[in-house]
Amino acid sequence: MNASKWDNFWLGLLLGLILPALFCLAYAHTIGLHHLWQEGMFEMLKPVIGRMLLLSTFANMAVMFLLYELNVWKLAKGVLVAIIPYMAAAIILL
């Protein structure tokens, strides 16, 4: 497999946006937040969701570090840029 074929900023951005969302969904399912979208529950669970988003950014940073070690620079840059909206949302929710 040729590394330059997969070394794409947009692919890294897509990966970086999808990975934390999947992590948050899996974590919410694990701790039983299936009732999150009921009336009034979102306001009560804002700090929990903010912490979940922060936790998911650490998973994204681990993937970025792995890509950095594999010398796939553009892919790592895309994952790094994708961390920004999740950090902003986490700061707003906390």
pLDDT tens-digit readout, 30-58 = 776 666 556 666 667 778 778 888 888 88
| Count of domains forming the chain | 1
Full domain range(s) for residue 49 = 6-31+40-93
User: How much is the pLDDT for 41?
Assistant: 66
Q: Return the higher-pLDDT residue of 67 and 35.
A: 67
Per-residue pLDDT band for 1 (boundaries 50, 70, 90) equals: very low
60 inside domain: yes
Q: What is the value of pTM for the model shown? A: 0.74
CB burial string 11-45: b at 16+ within 10 A, e below:
bbbebbbebbeebbeeebeeeebeeeeeeeeeeeb
1 inside domain: no
16 and 60 in contact (C-beta within 8 Å)? Answer: yes
